[in-house]
Amino acid sequence: MALTNYLLFLAIFCQISILSLSAKETSGSDDVYQVGIGGRDSELVNPNYLNNVDSLLSNLISESSLGFFNTSTGDVGSNRAYGFYLCRGDLSAKKCNNCLKDVRKYVLDRRPLESYSNGIAFNTDLQCVVHYANNSRSFVYRENTTFTGDGFGDDLAHNQQYNTTLMSTLQELAREAEYGNWTKANFATKVIDVTGSQEKIYVLVQCTPDISAMNCSNCISSLYSSFRPVAIGGRVLGYNCLMKFNNESFFSNGYRNFMASYILMILVLLSTTYIT
C-alpha cells in the first residue's frame, strides 16, 4: 500500500514536471524586431500594399506547420506583397505558429509609421523570420546579406579553446552545407566537446530551403565572417540563413524531456495499476 501511494505520488510529481516543462517551452524570448532593407522608405508605404502584407502574414501563419513557406498576395501590380517565413528547424509547429502570430501583431501594431516596402521581421531568439517585399526580385540570393547579430554570456576572449572549437565547427558546417549532406534538408545541429575542457558547444545553422547548397554554404560562411563570435552564446541572421550557438543545449530538448517524462509517467501508472 505504501508503495502504491509512493508510486501515485511519483505519477503526480511527473505530471507536475511535465506542466512546468511545457510552461518553460512557451516562455522564453518572444521579443520581435523589424528592419527595413535598403533603409527607411522616403514616403509612407501604400496602405493597399500594407493590407496585402497583412493577408500575406495571415497566409504564412496558416502554413506554419511547414517550417518554411513563400507566397504572394494581392492583385498583380505595385501593391502585391511577396514574402516567406522560416522557423528555426528545432521548433515545434505550435511554437512556430505562436512566433509568427507575434510577428504579425508586431508588424500590424506599428503601421503605418514603421512600415517598409521591403522588410524583415523576426523573433530576437531567431525562432522565426519573415521577409516581405513589394517585388519578387528581393528574394533572389545575394552574397554578404548578413545584417544582424548579437552575443550573450561570457566574453570569448577569455576562452580561446571554446573560440577555436566554435570557429572550426562553423567552418565545418559551412563545408558540409556545400555538399548538401546534412541529415535534415536545410538545417543542421551539432554538439561538440571543447578540446581540453568539460564544456560543450551547441550549434544550429539553417538556410531557407529555396537556395542551392552552394549558396547555403556561402550564406553560412558570411554569418560568422560578418559577425565574428564575441561571446559564449550568439545569434546571427542573414537574408537566407541564420545560426545560433551556446554552451547550453537549446534545441529539441524540451520535446525530448517531455517524451521521456510522459513515458515514465505511463510506466509508473501501469505499475501502480498492477500493484493494486
Residues engaged in binding ligand NAG (CB under 6 A): 41, 70-72, 78, 117, 134-135, 141-144, 156-157, 163, 167, 210, 212, 214-215, 218, 230
* Closest distance to ligand NAG from the beta carbon of 241 (Å): 12
What's the burial of 125, exposed, middle or buried (CB within 10 Å: 0-12/13-18/19+)? middle
Residue linked to cell 524570448: 29
Q: Which is nearer to ligand NAG, 16 or 214 (CB)?
A: 214
* Closest distance to ligand NAG from the beta carbon of 98 (Å): 24
Residue of 66, 133, 57 whose CA lies nearest to 96: 66
* Closest distance to ligand NAG from the beta carbon of 123 (Å): 22
Q: Which is nearer to ligand NAG, 70 or 261 (CB)?
A: 70
* Closest distance to ligand NAG from the beta carbon of 227 (Å): 12
Angle, CA 187 vertex, CA 181 and CA 192 arms, to 5°: 85
Give every CB contact of residue 201 below 8 A, 6+ residues apart in sequence.
162, 165, 166, 169, 190, 191, 192, 194, 245, 246, 247
User: Where are the strands (E) in 111-264, listed by range?
Assistant: 118-123, 128-133, 146-155, 187-193, 200-207, 231-238, 241-246
3-state secondary structure of 81: strand
* Closest distance to ligand NAG from the beta carbon of 69 (Å): 9
Residue of 106, 152, 153, 151 whose CA lies nearest to 129: 106
Angle, CA 158 vertex, CA 154 and CA 163 arms, to 5°: 85
* Closest distance to ligand NAG from the beta carbon of 216 (Å): 9
* Closest distance to ligand NAG from the beta carbon of 165 (Å): 10
Residue of 254, 257, 237, 249 whose CA lies nearest to 128: 237
Q: Which is nearer to ligand NAG, 28 or 38 (CB)?
A: 38
Q: Which is nearer to ligand NAG, 63 or 125 (CB)?
A: 63
Q: Which is nearer to ligand NAG, 94 or 142 (CB)?
A: 142
* Closest distance to ligand NAG from the beta carbon of 39 (Å): 10
Q: Which is nearer to ligand NAG, 78 or 273 (CB)?
A: 78
3-state secondary structure of 251: coil
Q: Which is nearer to ligand NAG, 134 or 206 (CB)?
A: 134
Residue linked to cell 501593391: 79
Q: Which is nearer to ligand NAG, 215 or 246 (CB)?
A: 215
3-state secondary structure of 119: strand
